[in-house]
Amino acid sequence: MGDPDSEDLDRLEDEEAAKELIVGTDAQGTRLDLWLSGQLGDAVSRSRLQALIRAGAVTRAGSPVTEPKHRVAAGEQYALVVPEAEPAEPLPENLPLEILCEDDALIVVNKPAGLVVHPAPGNWSGTLVNALLYHCGDTLAGIGGVRRPGIVHRLDRDTSGVMVAAKTDQAHRALSEAFADHGRSGDLERAYSALVWDAPDRWAGTVDAPLGRDPRSRTLRAVVPEGRADARHAVTHYQVQKRYGSDGKGGALAALIECRLETGRTHQIRVHMAHIGHPLIGDLDYGRAFRTKVNRLPDAVRPIVAAFGRQALHARLLAFRHPVTGEPMRFEAPPPPDMTALTEALNIL
């Protein structure tokens, strides 16, 4: 569920503590990038600072300031997060892969929950990229960039399901364009299965709400005002597949829903479902306030739901046209055992 223009944002998801800087009276009216450059000296180049500013790494009062030409005022306090230094390139690792399809142009895999897609601070090894480099060898090196070769989209660490990676520059360009378009004018199709708390009143609906950085966290997202500098258009379509149990007020205790993305922002489904009051079961980032709902469940169900250790989200379907032949391709992955067990437990309700 990655944002096609979020490579710099990805690099900020596991950072060190922010540098807190206060504007002195002598800096009144100075450009933000120039002022920061003067504060940091040779620690960070000006071009790098400009890239960090545009990526949302500089905040004032919790809100990103994304224009390098922004003029600072005396007394203002800014926070800057500088990512840790990165290794030159990821290394191949012999990690297991469940391959659904592979040819000279691409590889389709069923990613397990717990597997990070590409290296980042705190996760330089043991990622899907490391595994693909080992499996594909030299054919993958450099395709789409050194840090995440072959990757055209991503899933969160704890989201399971179907992913495709490119093995040639031609395939990478074509697939990247398809994912950037999100199927609006092509044949890309993505469907996710999610188990959520309670259930939407309507059997089908659309969440159209822009996403940006959560001011309380450097790693999380939130629904933000449309005019905010970091706001990104985000649309999720959902359909209720099944409702589980009764809350005694005409509603359900939980529901299985299918989500289809019209955009692909970081954590989009998780934030949008929480925004409408139905966070994913197991999502401690966006559904922490719903943790006590497990206490309403029967004894036979409660421990299974309480022990579910990730957000209940699975990318079950991915369809697209082959980037070389144009042939329609469609891949489905059944839910992994942990989600199957969770669904079976909810069926008791």
Q: Which pLDDT does position 88 carry in this prediction?
A: 61
Interval 265-270 mean pLDDT: 96
Interval 325-335 mean pLDDT: 97
| 112-156: pLDDT as tens digits | 999 999 887 667 899 999 999 999 987 887 788 777 899 999 999
Predicted confidence (pLDDT) at residue 86 exceeds the cutoff of 60: no
Q: Which pLDDT does position 5 carry in this prediction?
A: 36
The set of residues, in sequence order, having a beta carbon less than 8 Å from that of 175 and lying 6+ positions away, is: 106, 152, 164, 166, 320, 323
- List for the chain the helix, strand, coil content (%; round to 5): 25, 25, 50
Q: Which pLDDT does position 279 carry in this prediction?
A: 98
Predicted confidence (pLDDT) at residue 2 exceeds the cutoff of 60: no
The pLDDT confidence band at residue 94, using thresholds 50, 70 and 90, is: very high
| 188-231: pLDDT as tens digits | 999 999 999 999 999 999 999 999 989 888 789 999 999 888 89
The secondary structure of 213-279 as a DSSP string is E-TT-SS-EEE--TTSTT-B--EEEEEEEEEES--SSS--SEEEEEEEESS--TTHHHHHHHHTT-P
CA 211-217-218 angle, to 5 degrees, is 80
- Whole-number CA gyration radius for the chain: 22
Interval 299-323 mean pLDDT: 96
**Backbone region of residue 208 per phi and psi (left: phi > 0; alpha: psi in -120 to 50; beta: other values):** beta
Out of 10, 156, 158, 338, the active site residue is 156
156 annotated active-site: yes
Q: Residues of the chain with pLDDT > 90: what percent?
A: 69
Predicted confidence (pLDDT) at residue 7 exceeds the cutoff of 90: no
The secondary structure of 11-25 as a DSSP string is TTSS--PPEEEE--G
User: Long-range contact list for 223-229, CB < 8 A, 24+ apart?
Assistant: 223/271, 223/272, 223/275, 228/63, 229/63, 229/64, 229/65, 229/66, 229/67
Q: Residues of the chain with pLDDT > 70: what percent?
A: 92
The CA distance from 284 to 34, in Å, is 39
Is 286:169 a contact under the CB 8 Å cutoff? Answer: no
Interval 29-35 mean pLDDT: 93
Q: Which pLDDT does position 267 carry in this prediction?
A: 96
Predicted confidence (pLDDT) at residue 331 exceeds the cutoff of 70: yes
Q: Over the chain, what is the mean pLDDT?
A: 89
